Amino acid sequence: MGLPMTRNMARAGLNVRAWNRTPGKAEPLFADGIHIAQTPADAVRGAGVVVTMLADAAAVIDAIEAALPAMDRAADPHPVWLQMSTIGEAATQRCMNIANKNGIGFVDAPVLGTREPAEQGELVILESGPEEARPRVQPVFDAIGQRTIRAGQAGAGTRLKIVVNSWVLAAVEAGAETIALAEGLGVDPALFFKAIEGGPLDLPYLRTKGEAIASRDFSPSFRLTLAAKDASLVGESALQHGLDLPVFETIAERLSEGAVEHGDEDLSATYLTSAPDRMAQGA
């Protein structure tokens, strides 16, 4: 996600520096005229807006703490930290505390979309934070997204992302198990999709994942290990707010189970947890 987002920022005319925990992953950006930083400090030096797009909370916090000493108030007295990773409520609050302690503006803006929308600059941005920061971050949003939803004050974007993720993950898990059930009953899954075609139960995203399952092509668009991480964040929020979500607890367990063996494959590979015998037989 970070690589195409960075590329689109540069193509929009923004002056961009990029850092990745695995240096080789950032190297393709050199051809786009992007400075490849060797450290987080090198990446943020002189920057007015610092974007974090990393896999989890630990990576985000480690990166920003390494970057803080290099954030030059002489170059920009009011730098803004634009946190776009999906890290959950507790970690977002930690990030807000770090920003406040260091006098940095903080915008919480996770995104909806996978690799393909990121490449096409068509992400949906869930923005939350101070209104006065909007002009500073809008050029980034314009470069990477097709639309921005204003959720409220910092933290609201993360809460909205958790709600949306619960639906996305539930829909894919239910679809994968439905296909496994159809195959188990000797029903062609194509007939299932034909039965719901054009009606209120027909979901384009479910069709996309269903096609991946049917072709046994689990090339990652949204890795199962990240889906399992996001499911755990939904569970954390449910617990924090005293909610009993037994269906989603089961979904989270299934995704976590599947990620052990298929974590680097697409989220649709959760199907393999329901139908390993048929897969082994090449059905």
Last residue of a domain, one of 92, 124, 152: 152
Residue 6 and residue 144 in one domain: yes
Query: H/E element holding 146?
Result: strand 145-152
Q: In which domain, by residue range, is 23 found?
A: 2-152
Residue 126 and residue 191 in one domain: no
pLDDT in tens, 8-64: 999 999 999 999 999 888 899 988 889 999 999 999 988 999 999 999 999 999 999
Residue 178 and residue 273 in one domain: yes
pLDDT in tens, 175-212: 999 999 999 999 999 999 999 999 999 999 999 999 99
Structural domain count, the chain: 2
Q: Which two tokens stand for residue 124?
A: 């949906």
Residue 244 and residue 194 in one domain: yes
Residue 197 and residue 141 in one domain: no
Residue 24 and residue 123 in one domain: yes
Last residue of a domain, one of 102, 129, 152: 152
Residue 10 and residue 140 in one domain: yes
Model pTM above 0.85: yes
Last residue of a domain, one of 93, 117, 152: 152
